[in-house]
């Protein structure tokens, strides 16, 4: 067998269930790996090692007694430090909540634990998940395992690094403007932004918002589907929750893609993209033709996406964090304060305009996706950059207007409400990971996983591990 800490989640679950490995052996291997590589990467910021070993012993005892076993029985998981985790420090990457220990868990965390997963700790995130670079005043920066001088992306950066470095087989995250997709891209793992409502948001400060979602991360698409299968499923407390049993995502992912039309868009209609990213993506176009797909150059009409996203994001920051800023003046980082202040400047007509433009954008995107079943495009417009650089200020000589503008390739997809998958694609000449973003039809999360699975069968990029 490969090293236990780099076995797939699916294989680990099967090995535990068959008795080939015990949950204690699996947990001990991952805790040893954390001790080995976490000091240099700073991915896991709160660790409950003793409790995790006790839970693993209980998992083995339950199995010996013949009790029912969940799909994730005995698997170590780590939770993004934005997700409430009962009895485990949850800081949101902010000094405001530096010592906060929740009395309840978020639904996504509860569902993983109910499926048999063992929570080992929390993964690093920028303050309140703001920005696609993982650093904060509480824990510092998380480093890219493929080059420790570079960023891992964000805001689910700690989760991506923990996966890439073999610290856990599964990790969760959230995504507003790319926070599951960007770090997956930068760390050569798989991240899914599911359809809004696929993973119910409980609790939620704005239950009607479709911008931020919770989703799974893994090292391959099969593991990702397994993870999603326990996180997804209806819950009446979320008004946007999609009906249906999450177990459907454990169905076989194999599919014949002969004749399936896909759109190839290397710049999503004109975004500046670093030529190193374009070069890696272009090498993979033929792979989809090898799968039988009909690949055509085409881009959806995403005009107004930036205005929509910036307006709705600012509104969200004021709703969620305005009171926090007022109660703790001078504590929040500058970019969070800026977002809140932008929200306070909004007028009724501006918000109304964003809603109208978003409806029109969805109509255009939906029509486009009737012609093409999938859209292939960049995840990030640039490769990983220095860890001490807060954000990208220019791409190909084009100045970025704010600290998140360089993530337009992700947030333009966010506002369409279509599911999107980031999966390993290849490496630059410097050895830096580049991911491919696959966008699926409205609510077709399963089809997205099927194409991602087919692609990774003929592209081994995701098997390359960092040399830590």
Residues carrying an active site annotation: 80, 155, 179
Which residue, 443, 377, 368, is CA-closest to 194? Answer: 443
Say if residues 156 and 183 touch (Cβ distance below 8 Å).
yes
Count of CB atoms within 10 A of residue 242's CB? Answer: 19
Across 179-198, b (16+ Cβ under 10 Å) vs e yields: bbbbbbbbbbbbbbbbbbbb
- Measured between alpha carbons, how far is 468 from 99 in angstroms, rounded to an integer? 31
Q: How, if at all, do strands 374-378 and 433-439 pair?
A: antiparallel
Q: Measured between alpha carbons, how far is 366 from 233 in angstroms, rounded to an integer?
A: 24
Residues in the chain: 468
167 within 8 A of 121, measured Cβ to Cβ: no
Q: What does 3-48 look like in DSSP terms, one character per residue?
A: -GGGS-HHHHHHHHHHTSS-HHHHHHHHHHHHHHHHHHH--EEEE-
**Residue 457 CB neighbours (<10 A):** 14
**How far is residue 236's CA from residue 219's CA, in Å, rounded to a whole number?**
31
Nearest CA among 179, 64, 76, 82 for reference residue 124: 82
Residue found under tokens 């996180």: 231
Taking a C-beta distance cutoff of 8 angstroms, is the pair 109, 122 a contact?
A: no
Helix/strand/coil for 171: strand
What tokens appear for 343 in the block? 């929200």
Residue 123: beta bridge partners? Answer: 44, 80
The residue assigned the tokens 């989640």 is 9
Q: Report d(CA 189, CA 9) in Å as an integer.
A: 13
Reported as type and span, the H/E element at residue 406 is none
Backbone angles phi, psi at 388, to 5 degrees: -90, 5
């Amino acid at each position: 067998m490969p090293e236990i800490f780099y076995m797939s989640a699916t294989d680990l679950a099967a090995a535990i269930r068959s008795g080939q490995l015990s949950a204690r052996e699996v947990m001990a291997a991952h805790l040893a790996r954390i001790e080995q590589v976490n000091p240099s990467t700073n991915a896991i910021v709160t660790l409950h090692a003793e409790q995790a070993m006790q839970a693993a012993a209980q998992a083995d005892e339950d199995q010996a007694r013949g009790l029912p076993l969940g799909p994730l029985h005995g698997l170590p998981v780590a939770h993004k430090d934005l997700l409430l985790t009962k009895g485990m420090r949850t800081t949101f990457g902010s000094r405001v909540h530096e010592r906060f220990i929740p009395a309840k868990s978020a639904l996504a965390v509860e569902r993983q634990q109910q499926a048999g997963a063992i929570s080992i700790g929390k993964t690093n995130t920028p303050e309140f998940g703001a920005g696609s670079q993982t650093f904060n005043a509480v824990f510092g920066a998380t480093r890219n395992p493929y080059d420790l001088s570079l960023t891992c992306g964000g805001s689910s950066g700690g989760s991506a690094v923990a996966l890439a470095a073999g610290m856990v087989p599964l990790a969760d995250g959230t995504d507003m403007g790319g926070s599951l997709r960007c770090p997956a891209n930068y760390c050569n793992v798989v991240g899914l932004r599911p359809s809004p409502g696929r993973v119910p948001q409980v609790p939620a400060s704005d239950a009607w918002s479709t911008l931020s979602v919770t989703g799974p991360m893994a090292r391959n698409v099969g593991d990702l589907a397994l993870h999603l299968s326990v996180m997804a499923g209806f819950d009446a407390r979320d008004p946007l929750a999609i009906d249906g049993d999450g177990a459907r995502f454990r169905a076989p992912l194999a599919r014949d893609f002969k004749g399936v039309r896909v759109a190839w868009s290397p710049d999503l209609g004109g975004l500046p993209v670093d030529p190193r990213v374009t070069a890696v993506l272009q090498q993979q176009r033929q792979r989809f033709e090898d799968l039988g797909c009909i690949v055509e150059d085409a881009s959806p009409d995403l005009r107004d996406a930036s205005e929509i996203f910036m307006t709705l994001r600012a509104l969200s920051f004021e709703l969620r964090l305005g009171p926090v800023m007022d109660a703790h003046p001078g504590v929040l980082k500058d970019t969070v304060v800026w977002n809140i202040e932008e929200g306070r400047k909004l007028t009724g007509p501006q918000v109304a305009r964003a809603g109208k433009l978003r409806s029109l954008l969805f109509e255009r995107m939906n029509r486009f996706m009737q012609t093409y079943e999938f859209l292939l495009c960049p995840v990030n417009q640039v490769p990983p950059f220095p860890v001490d650089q807060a954000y990208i200020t220019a791409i190909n000589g084009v100045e970025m207007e704010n600290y998140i503008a360089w993530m337009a390739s992700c947030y333009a997809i966010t506002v369409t409400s279509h599911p999107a998958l980031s999966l390993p694609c290849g490496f630059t000449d410097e050895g830096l990971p580049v991911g491919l973003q696959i966008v699926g039809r409205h609510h077709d999360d399963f089809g997205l996983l099927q194409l991602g699975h087919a692609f990774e069968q003929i592209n081994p990029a995701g098997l390359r591990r960092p040399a830590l």
